[in-house]
Amino acid sequence: MADESKSWGIKHAGKSLGEKLQILSTEDEGFHLSDDGTIKLQTCHVDENGVARGCHCLKRDYEMKFNSFIEEYPNKASSFSQFHCGCCAGHQKYHLLNKLSVKLKLKSIGISAVKTGNEQKRTFVYEII
């Protein structure tokens, strides 16, 4: 995916930031440019317990330990998974940096009101600096 974001950035290198943002908003349904100039990215599905699923950090043994922790302490799922959402936010920021060629700062991580079935999406908000 890193190669894809770099290729996207090269393909659109001659365009202004506004044009790039417009293209991204039509290509990526999770991407939104807010009225206050921040970039919102909805991604990383979260289940009804607040547990982030599909995080690229959760591999092999660690995923089994994470799942065991959630089964044993379901009321702590949201606070435990916030670390993983921060990791994912950094991962997504990396791809946006490659695409937009601007510096970004993570402003917030939250759960959106948009639900799909029993799942919600994490919302990452970035400021252009």
pLDDT digits (tens, 9 = 90+) for 48-88: 655 555 555 555 555 566 667 667 776 665 554 555 677 77
- Taking residues 123-128, what's their average pLDDT? 90
**pLDDT averaged over every residue in the chain:** 76
Rounded Cα distance between 70 and 108, Å, is 24
- Taking residues 96-115, what's their average pLDDT? 81
**CA-to-CA separations, 117 to 42, 50, 65, 78, in angstroms, rounded:** 16, 14, 26, 19
Give me the residue label for tokens 């293209």: 23
- pLDDT score at 74: 66
- pLDDT score at 77: 55
pTM above 0.75, yes or no: no
CB neighbour list of residue 45: distance below 8 Å, 6 or more residues apart: 52, 53, 54, 116, 119, 120, 121, 122
Rounded Cα distance between 8 and 94, Å, is 13
Domain ranges of the chain: 2-128
pLDDT band at 115; cut points 50, 70, 90: very low
